[in-house]
Amino acid sequence: MKKAFFIILFLTILVNLFSAELVTVAEQSDYKLTSAYKDVMEFLFSAQARSDKIEILRLTTSSEGRMVPLVVISNEGIKSPKEMILSGKPAVLIMANIHAGEIEGKEATLMLTRDFVENKDNQHLENQVVLLLPIFNPDGNDKFGKNRRDNGPELAGTRYNGQYLDLNRDYLKLESPEVRGLVKLFNQWDPVLVVDLHTTNGSYHRHPVTYTANVNPNGDLSLADYMWKRFFPGTAKILKDTYGYDSIPYGNFTDRIQPGKGWSNDAFLARFGNNYAGLRNRFVVLDENYSYDDFKTRVLACYGFIKSILQYTHQHIREMEEMVKAADINTKNNYARENFILEFNEEKLFDVTVKSYEFQVEKIKEEDRSQYPPWFGDYIVKKTDVYKDYTVPYYGKAVPKRSIPLPGAYILLPYQDAVIKNLQRHGITAAKIKKPFQAEVEVFNIEEIKPAQRLYQGHVFIGLKGHYVPETLTISKNSYLISMKQPLARLLPVLLEPESEDSLAAWGFFNRQLVSQWTDKPLLYPVYRLRKVITAVERYQESVGQ
Ligand SMILES: [Zn+2]
């Protein structure tokens, strides 16, 4: 009897210990703390030890030397992209902590991992493989400092990584080990859907979760259309019905003094992850949780959202997979016949009802003006406690304002090692020219080179203006032919068109040959366009190495 009692006591302690280990730091501290890197790794390895569904791999090593963990969750215990292909199941990627001060996604992905250890919602693994990056920016995560923006916890990490880079601005230039590792993951694991978890402040409202798809006009907007019409209504309903949280398309009041005017999405730049995934013809969710909600609400709402997403994809991942495959084929075969959009206007996508508040608008007194940032203008807008809903246009559609026809291929002149390396990292195919040949090309005639006034992400942004002129030129050996007939063709004009806002030229990759020595006279833009494009590769085949 006594012996049995001690055995039971021992087992109880063991069970408690066992479960205690899989409690997040946020839960343990009653949402006063967030996990450090070491806490996340202990949680993940503990989860891996208890479940044959969970594998921890190394995505990459951060600039400060930390392993960035990639969690692979599958019924099959998949450990590599090859094993995933053999399973016949597509992947969904959920990534947290790219901005390491925005922390609830990290806690929510750990809770999700625990659910699979405890065999909760295992049916969600029947049709898909779940990839998690719970702590994508580990160096920023552990630089704990006062959390100045969000409503708790008191301490949180930094936005930047170990190199002082904003990783959500690095998708095109690829300077960080973290984003290089992520793009490698895109090329190897090829997730059909990418979910990127953030926190946002801005306008006051009553929705803990906000979301957007890709909105850059050069991405595949048929995929974005599916997200707005099917995916988001579906997941928002699950989130509300099952978890009780409101959600809304991501945005801010267009005019903070007159909230009735509209609700504006501002995530249009190609360098943001949501648009980068869209430019690669993949589905994407940019989740922005509401920073004024307390930490516990943000964690639980974010957890509810990712659970809702996996419930949705469990039912729909096959149709989504078919759509991204079709988008790849369409891009490869037809994109060169389209236009590249250089400038756009933001127009109404649909109407949205923002659950918000009544606001009081006060004129700033002249003597107090220095206390407020210039963008405040003449007024302070204060939230009252009175609820008010605003049904307004949602400005989430980029409508072309200035476009240019696309070429059939680009020619990159020799000695552009950093450029070719960048293109290869993205997964773009470029063929090295082995034998010179004559070609009818378009050469960019530079009219203006305008470096930015201030530094941005370690760069002086270079603005180029000019026009193309037709010429017949000899394309020299060691140039590269980069055909538009490839699934990643949407990335090519973004990176290589001189007037593209996010071009490699803008990021300074072509600085060496832009001006003549001792002058500010434009010299050369080292990328040409081949117009007769679709046939170009075949025509010049013998000049091109394999
Ligand atoms: Zn963010």
Q: Please say whether the dihedral angle defined by the alpha carbons of residues 437, 438, 440 and 441, taken in this order, is positive or negative.
A: positive
Ligand 1 centroid, distance to 199 Cα (angstroms): 6
Distance, in Å, from the CA atom of 73 to the CA atom of 69, rounded to the nearest integer, reads: 13
Distance, in Å, from the CA atom of 435 to the CA atom of 475, rounded to the nearest integer, reads: 9
Distance, in Å, from the CA atom of 320 to the CA atom of 231, rounded to the nearest integer, reads: 10
The token duo for 113 is 């991992």
Q: Exposed (0-12), middle (13-18) or buried (19+): which is 400, by Cβ within 10 Å?
A: middle
Ligand 1 centroid, distance to 182 Cα (angstroms): 16
Ligand 1 centroid, distance to 23 Cα (angstroms): 25
Distance, in Å, from the CA atom of 429 to the CA atom of 31, rounded to the nearest integer, reads: 47
The predicted structure's pLDDT at residue 374: 81
The predicted structure's pLDDT at residue 373: 84
The enclosing H or E element of 41 equals: helix 37-50
Ligand 1 centroid, distance to 31 Cα (angstroms): 20
How distant is the alpha carbon of residue 472 from its chain centre?
40
Ligand 1 centroid, distance to 99 Cα (angstroms): 5
Reduced to 3 states, what is the DSSP secondary structure of residue 321?
A: helix
pLDDT one digit per residue (tens) for the chain, 546 residues:
455 655 554 554 445 445 557 999 999 999 999 999 999 999 999 999 999 999 999 999 999 999 999 999 999 999 999 999 999 999 999 999 999 999 999 999 999 999 999 999 999 999 999 999 999 999 999 999 998 788 999 999 999 999 999 999 999 999 999 999 999 999 999 999 999 999 999 999 999 999 999 999 999 989 999 999 999 999 999 999 999 999 999 999 999 999 999 999 999 999 999 999 999 999 999 999 999 999 999 999 999 999 999 999 999 999 999 999 999 999 999 999 999 999 999 999 999 999 999 999 999 998 888 888 887 888 999 999 999 999 999 999 999 999 999 999 999 999 999 999 999 999 999 999 999 999 999 999 999 999 999 999 999 999 999 999 999 999 999 999 999 999 999 999 999 999 999 999 999 999 999 998 898 899 999 999 997 654 445 555 555 544
CB 280 within 8 A of CB 491: yes
Ligand 1 centroid, distance to 289 Cα (angstroms): 9
CB 408 within 8 A of CB 439: no
The enclosing H or E element of 530 equals: strand 527-530
Ligand 1 centroid, distance to 230 Cα (angstroms): 25
The predicted structure's pLDDT at residue 21: 72
Contacts of 124 (CB under 8 A, 6+ apart): 130, 310, 311, 313, 314
129-133 and 91-96: which strand pairing? parallel
The predicted structure's pLDDT at residue 351: 98
Ligand 1 centroid, distance to 170 Cα (angstroms): 13
**How many C-beta atoms surround the C-beta of residue 161 within 10 A?**
29
Ligand 1 centroid, distance to 102 Cα (angstroms): 6
Closest CA to 465 of 503, 492, 491, 439: 503
The predicted structure's pLDDT at residue 536: 47
Q: H-type helices in 335-461, by residue range?
A: 417-426
Ligand 1 centroid, distance to 410 Cα (angstroms): 34
Ligand 1 centroid, distance to 68 Cα (angstroms): 18
The enclosing H or E element of 112 equals: helix 104-117
Residues β-bridged to residue 443: 469, 528
Reduced to 3 states, what is the DSSP secondary structure of residue 420?
A: helix
Closest CA to 496 of 530, 522, 469: 530
The predicted structure's pLDDT at residue 370: 86
Ligand 1 centroid, distance to 434 Cα (angstroms): 45
Distance, in Å, from the CA atom of 51 to the CA atom of 75, rounded to the nearest integer, reads: 10
Ligand 1 centroid, distance to 278 Cα (angstroms): 18
The token duo for 117 is 């250890």
Ligand 1 centroid, distance to 273 Cα (angstroms): 10
Ligand 1 centroid, distance to 383 Cα (angstroms): 24
Closest CA to 192 of 86, 277, 274: 277
Ligand 1 centroid, distance to 195 Cα (angstroms): 13
Ligand 1 centroid, distance to 132 Cα (angstroms): 17
